[in-house]
Amino acid sequence: MKRSWGWVGLMALVLCFSVLWMTGCAKKATLQEGAVVTQEQKAVAQAPAEAAATTAPDTRAARDRALQDQALIDQAARDAAEKAAREAAAKAAKDAADRAKREAKEKAAAILKELQIADVNFDYDKYNLKPEAQEILKKGAPAYLKYRDYKLVVEGHCDERGTAEYNLALGEKRATEAAKYLTDLGIEKERIKTISYGKEMPLDQGHDEAAWAKNRRARR
């Protein structure tokens, strides 16, 4: 009976040690598992930080490049706008200059047309102004009173009859008579020049009275 109790006690002691050993192993395993989880959590927590640290410079670099690209685009747009403005201004200036030249040319042509005086004719071998010749000069004089920067040349012409010397002298008298009349109308004498061509420059090449009547003239 004592031997039986001895075995029982021995078995109970072994059982206690077994329980204690298993409990200790379980705790150790739990601690190890906890340590593993903690290391995993730490690794997971560190991963975003490391990723952020790795990608942050790339992001800044990309942003800087984007800003530089945008700055280049903006500068190119400004340059294009300035170039367009310069070209538009140059074109406007050229158009204005061309328009001014055209208007000046048209104005000069209009003035010259206004300054034209019709020919005045003379009787055969005469140099005095007939009434109709005086009316022509009266109509032409106001333009020269208006545009005082312009001068005029009065030419004296004759028909083919008579000597060259005689017709040169007669032509000069006709030109001088017309010039004197224009001076009496208010045109300064200094602005008027006279010249005689005699019979050298006939208006009509005919050899009859109708042609001769046209050639006996003074003209502006």
Inside any domain, residue 51: no
Tell me, yes or no, whether 102 and 138 share the same domain: no
What's the pLDDT at 118?
94
Tell me, yes or no, whether 85 and 124 share the same domain: no
Could you give the number of structural domains in the chain? Answer: 2
Indicate the residue among 76, 93, 114 that finishes a domain: 114
Tell me, yes or no, whether 174 and 191 share the same domain: yes
Tell me, yes or no, whether 98 and 129 share the same domain: no
Tell me, yes or no, whether 105 and 143 share the same domain: no
Inside any domain, residue 142: yes
What's the pLDDT at 50?
54
Inside any domain, residue 62: yes
Inside any domain, residue 20: no
User: Structural domain of residue 87, as residue ranges?
Assistant: 56-114
Inside any domain, residue 7: no
What's the pLDDT at 2?
43
Tell me, yes or no, whether 138 and 204 share the same domain: yes
In this structure, are residues 170 and 162 in contact, taking their beta carbons and an 8 Å threshold? yes
What's the pLDDT at 36?
45
Q: pTM for this structure?
A: 0.59
What's the pLDDT at 40?
47
Tell me, yes or no, whether 123 and 182 share the same domain: yes
Chunk the chain into consecutive blocks of 10 residues (it has 220) and report each block's average pLDDT, rounded to whole numbers: 49 51 49 47 52 67 90 92 92 92 92 93 96 96 94 96 96 97 96 96 93 90
Indicate the residue among 114, 132, 148 that finishes a domain: 114
What's the pLDDT at 41?
52
